[in-house]
Amino acid sequence: MLKTVGVKTLDDLFDAIPKEHRFPELDLPPALTEMEAAAHLADMASSNENVRQDLISFLGAGAYNHYIPSVVDHMLRRGEFYTAYTPYQPEISQGTLQAIFEYQSLMASLTGMEVSNASHYDGATATAEAVNLAFAQFRGKRKKIVMSPSVHPQYREVIRTYSQGMGLEEAGDDATNSGSGPEALMSLVDDKTMMVVVQYPDFFGRVYDYAKLIEDAHAKGALVCVVANPTALVMLKTPGEMGADVVVGEAQPFGIPLWYGGPYLGFFTTKKSYVHKMAGRLVGETVDARGNRSYVLTLTAREQHIKRERATSNICTNQGLLALAASVYMSTLGKQGLQEVANLCYQKAHYAANELAKVKGFSIKFDEPFFHEFVLQTPKPAGEVNQYLLDHGILGGYDLGADYPDMKNHLLVAVTEMNSKDEIDTLVEVLKEM
Amino acid sequence: MNTPSNLKYAKSDEWFDPATGAVGISDYAQNQLSDIVFVEILVDEGEEVTVGKAIASVESVKASSEIYAPAAGKVGAVNKGLSDKPETLNSDPYGEGWMIKIEGGAMGDVMDAAEYEKYCEGRAH
Amino acid sequence: MAEIVEPTIFELSSPGRRGVTMPASDVPTVDLPPKHLLRSELPLPELAEVDVVRHYMKLSSFNYSVDSGFYPLGSCTMKYNPKINEDTCRLPGFLFTHPLQPIETVQGNLALMYEMQEWLKEISGFAGVTLQPAAGAHGEFTGVLMMAAYHKLRGDTKRTKMLIPDAAHGTNPASVGMLGFTVVTIPSDSRGNVDLEKLKAACDDTVVGMMLTNPNTLGMFDEHIEEVVKLVKDCGGLMYGDGANLNALLGIVRPGDLGFDVMHFNLHKTFAVPHGGGGPGSGPVGVSQRLADFLPSPLVGIIEEGDDETAPLYGFVTPKNSIGRMKAFHGHFGGGLVRSYTYILMHGPDGLKDIAQYAVLNANYLQARLRGTYHIPYDRICMHEFVMEGKFEGSDVRALDISKRLMDYNFHPPTNYFPLIVPEALMIEPTETENKDTLDRFADALIKIAEEAKSQPDLLHNAPITTKFGRMDEVKAARELVLCCWLPENYEEMV
């Protein structure tokens, strides 16, 4: 091969590299064989305490422990899916393309919206892309966003990071005002507002009907983005029915493992009229030269590789394989299985809330309806309660004091179908003895 | 290539009708873009525009282009129907494919039809 | 009416069918929320598990993949993805740890992340690394945000120009556009290097920095890299390195040593995270000392030093002038970091150098074999990829036709029509994992196609002919915009 290339040694291929920096000695551990590496990684993994084998978990706050049917991973392990690239050559990528088209359809059906894109990195970045959409829609003529303080704190942080170059005015994002509902937001919406961002159920688990807020925001000409939990949407009125313009969220609960925070799956659905301002990949139906129904990446001229600095976003990829996971999850559980999951979450969370409210010193903070997550007021700082629970092998919930200064004695508790009655009873018993 | 002689042309391939103030994209431009699938007018009626301001955005299957004002003045009319039928820009660029009308249009640096044709020929590869 | 090769999951649905069933509730039943808060219908498919499996198996058979054949897609580094990585990333200790667990319960994860930060620093020569960005473009946006924050903190607010070579990836200008900066395009010279004179003329005190892919998208290592870096730094700018092409540099040269300030890694290219049909990727970012305080929060650090007997306690730290958070939680831990960690661990320093050397050898071998048949506009020793023109004198065959015809020979086509500075570009990146036999078969096919272009051009215009699907009508897709399918309106009556 070297002879064909016309050089004597491999090193001769690198003459263009500045000599004093060429071939550095890398201080890395020596190579392991597969057998050694597998053992090493198994050691590292087992030094964690996980929520299936070691700990009872009531931790949610944006990532949820759900059962994943076996078939999901069997499909993800098909090399034809996971070792393919972005479907630039549709003739030999129809598997990926039809799977994404179906994912788009499933998500649009779930959220009650007209269109979905092929997905974003996660729920937080999908929310930031919703703000980008609003900015592009108003072409910078409206620059104010009204953000509820009960949108996930990390999502709000990501929006602030993303929008650093836009010169946005923010209102509503006041962590000391955590108890307020949607009415409090409306007074902040004016004719400079490009978008209102709310969460459903909100970060504290509360379920509000946003129809009135959306109607009022529309009267001022503003768009409304609803950040939604997909499991809750199986049971609850859809943001589409409420009139939302953009519905985004984290689809990790749909067949994606907790995986210490990622990769997850940001879903993004909207109305057809905003599709040209929406970032991200999009698959559309067409026919091929032989008359076969088939699918292609479409409206690609919106995207960075053509529109370059005028594009809404620089995003190129989607979370392809994880969109497939969500599709297989939804298909395998199907309508009835999903309803069973949602109902189990709802019933168990309410059982837990009812029982916890009976423990002396503890109470449920809010009166609003909730789905599978609620705020538990604790007699001591939540951090101390969590440490005590951890000593008993329980992950108690999310300490809200970290993000909301007036909620130091509050835990955000999540309950899913994975929590048995025994686990809930154990939590209650342990807290009784605290 | 169709280049009506009553119109003026900008280097960025917009046409301007001095008689009516109408603005659109040239036959050459629509041909280069090929199948246009999206058009968005970026200015509103009554808005003042300066020469070179982006007044519209056009996307085809393979390309994307901004359309710039070839003249300064007040936007007198916007072709609102265009966004529902972007393919009009391919089929009738000088007729139904007009984008906006600029009132009191002080023209920027524009060419007549003969100069523009020569300019386009010079760009063919 | 179009022929249906495989029905959609909605079309396969039938009322009442069940896949996986959930257990009955073990708690007392409470009322559902009030009716006005409940959804009125749930129009999702109903199938048996076997129907779901057969559907997705059928779809998988429509895909070309690295596991099924040679995938020389330029700039995408479609190397073989070792199977062991699929097992390590699914170890229960990784799969079932929640991102908000107390740090004491996830020391294995944090140790892995800490070591990964250290290894990427060592491989690239940078002072700091964040693992948070989700993909290359996300890492790039992170990098540009840090550059902006650096100048802003210094009160140097007149800097609004980003210098970008004409051979750059489209994400570069798009990232810059997200911050409202203006792009100044710098042309390439006849050897595929940055045109130094043009660069000199653009360098002034309004420059934010330069975004340079090196080796660039022509596959060329810039022969004047040190001068380029010096020019940008002398005018107060920062150097951004697009790490898309890092596969060519492992153990060959470290971008930090060359004076770059910031670079994103594509773990899904260089470090064998599978591409997943378009994601998830993983795009950590490395920075020089002067940008280290601007890294996104949080990073993994040592909270309590260890000693001979006890391991250190790992936890999260926030850099002093952090640009903030780029996504929820800590990055693509399971799917990205664990796979890449396994990959680096199994290669070691010498193995990494081998990767780059054989990737570069394979590209040069293909270039040498195709040189006489196809025009190579920037013809010198290339790095991991090269670009040739997919057109012939006196023929109307285009790069697209050649790409489609390659499918008939059971190869994935190269990247076409990129970089924009080469007409009818075909960008070929073989990667290090292909053997000489595969490269020869691919070169033979391209040489045969060049003959076909002369003797029977229609064969190319009509290609592919042996694949399950033919060329798509992209205009119809964009004009009609059918983006979703739904359950039929009379679905409930279909039982």
- Percent with pLDDT over 70 in chain A: 99
Within 8 A of B59 by CB-CB distance, chain A residues are: 276, 299, 301-302, 307
B82: in domain: yes
Measure in Å the smallest separation between the Cα of C96 and chain A Cα atoms.
5
Asked if residue B123 is part of any domain, the answer here is: no
The CA distance from B113 to the nearest CA of chain A, in Å, is 29
All residues of chain B having their beta carbon less than 8 Å from the beta carbon of residue A302 are: 38, 59, 64
Share of chain A above pLDDT 90, in %: 90
Query: How far apart are the C-alpha atoms of A45 and C458, rounded to whole Å?
Result: 57
- Mean pLDDT of all residues in A177-196: 88
CA distances from B87 to A109, B30, B91 (A): 30, 10, 6
Residues A309 and A397 in one domain: no
In this structure, are residues C85 and A29 in contact, taking their beta carbons and an 8 Å threshold?
no
Per-residue model confidence (pLDDT) at position A174: 78
Residue in C with minimal Cα distance to A61:
C100
When divided into structural domains, chain A yields a total of: 2
Looking at the partner chain, which of C45, C122, C480 has a beta carbon nearest the beta carbon of A334? Answer: C45
A92–C90 C-beta distance less than 8 A: no
**Domain check: are A224 and A100 in the same one?**
yes
Please tell me which residue, A175 or A277, carries the higher pLDDT value. Answer: A277
Ranges of residues in chain B with a pLDDT under 50 are none
pLDDT for residue A311: 75
Cα torsion C72, C77, C80, C81 to 10°: value is -150
Rounded mean pLDDT, A77-100 = 97
Domain count, chain C: 1
Residue given tokens 């007699």 in the structure block: A379
Contact A306 B63 (CB under 8 A): yes
User: Which C residues in the span 435-474 are in contact with B, Cβ-Cβ below 8 Å?
Assistant: 474
Span A100-127, pLDDT tens digits: 999 999 999 999 999 999 999 999 999 9
- Domain termination residue (choose one: A329, A364, A391): A329
B42 at interface of A, judged by CB pairs closer than 8 A: yes
| A302·B37 Cβ contact <8 A | no
Calpha distance C340→C342 (Å, rounded): 5
Q: Which residues contact A379 (CB under 8 A, 6 or more apart)?
A: A361, A362, A409
- Is B3 part of a structural domain of the chain? no
List the domain range (segments joined by +) for residue A383. 56-68+335-432
Q: What is the CATH number of the domain that holds C328?
A: 3.40.640.10
Model-level ipTM above the cut of 0.90: yes
Mutation target vs C (from A32, A41, A252, A394; most C CBs, 10 A cutoff): A41
CB C329, CB A154: distance < 8 Å: yes
Q: Quick one: A323 and A372 in the same domain? A: no
Residue C416 lies in a domain: no
Better-predicted residue by pLDDT, C149 or A303: C149
Q: Are residues A123 and A234 in the same domain?
A: yes
CA A232 remoteness from chain centre: 13
3-state secondary structure string across A29-63:
CCCCCHHHHHHHHHHHHHCCCCCCCCCEECCCCCC
Position B62 in a domain: yes
A171 in the same domain as A216 = yes
Give domain status of residue A245, yes or no.
yes
Task: Identify which of B42, B59, B66 has the shortest CB distance to residue A302.
Answer: B59
Dihedral angle, C-alpha A342, A68, A66, C81, nearest 10 °: -140
Q: Which CATH number goes with the domain that contains A417?
A: 3.90.1150.10
Nearest to A398 among C100, C179, C335 (CB): C100
Q: Is residue C103 part of a domain?
A: yes
Question: What is residue C288's predicted lDDT score, i.e. its pLDDT?
Answer: 98
Q: Which of C112, C172, C183, C168 is nearest to C136 (CA)?
A: C172
The pLDDT of residue A180 is: 75
**Structural domain count, chain B:** 1
Q: How many CB pairs under 8 A join B and C?
A: 11
Q: What residues of chain B, 11 to 40, have a C-beta less than 8 Å from chain A?
A: 37-38, 40
3-class secondary-structure state, position A426: helix
DSSP per-residue string spanning A230-245: HHHHHHBPPHHHHT-S
Among residues A301, A329, A357, the one where a domain terminates is: A329
Residue B125 included in any domain: no
We report the CATH number of the domain holding residue B22 as 2.40.50.100
* A21 falls within a domain: no
Residues in CB range of A150: below 8 A, 6 or more apart: A178, A198, A199, A202, A203, A204, A206
Q: Which residues of A touch B38 (CB under 8 A)?
A: 276, 299, 301-302
Q: Rounding to the nearest 10 degrees, give the CA dihedral for residues A274, A278, A282, A288.
A: 50
* Contact between B42 and A139 using a beta-carbon 8 Å cutoff: yes
The verdict on residue C421 lying in a domain is no
Q: What's the CATH code of the domain at A221?
A: 3.40.640.10
Question: Does any domain span residue B102?
Answer: yes
**Segments of A288-397 assigned E as strands:** 293-297, 363-364, 373-377, 394-395
Which of C14, C88, C64, C87 has its CA nearest to residue C44? Answer: C14
Instruction: Out of A298, A329, A360, pick the residue that ends a domain.
Output: A329
- The pLDDT of residue A432 is above 60: yes
A77 and A61 within one domain: no
**Residue range A156-161: mean pLDDT, rounded:** 96
Residue C52 placed within a domain: no
Residue range(s) defining the domain that contains residue B101: 8-116
Rounded alpha-carbon distances, angstroms, from residue A308 to A305, C172, C266: 6, 8, 20
**CB < 8 Å to B35, chain C:** 475, 478-479
The answer to the question of residue C34 being in a domain is no
Q: Assess whether A317 and A360 both reside in one domain.
A: no
What residues make up the domain containing C318?
A: 86-346
Please, what's the largest Cα pairwise distance for chain C?
A: 80
Q: Which residue of B has its CA nearest to A275?
A: B38
Do A64 and A74 fall within a single domain?
no
Residues of chain C with pLDDT under 50: none
pLDDT at B124: 62
Q: Which of C1, C16, C2 is CA-nearest to residue C491? A: C16
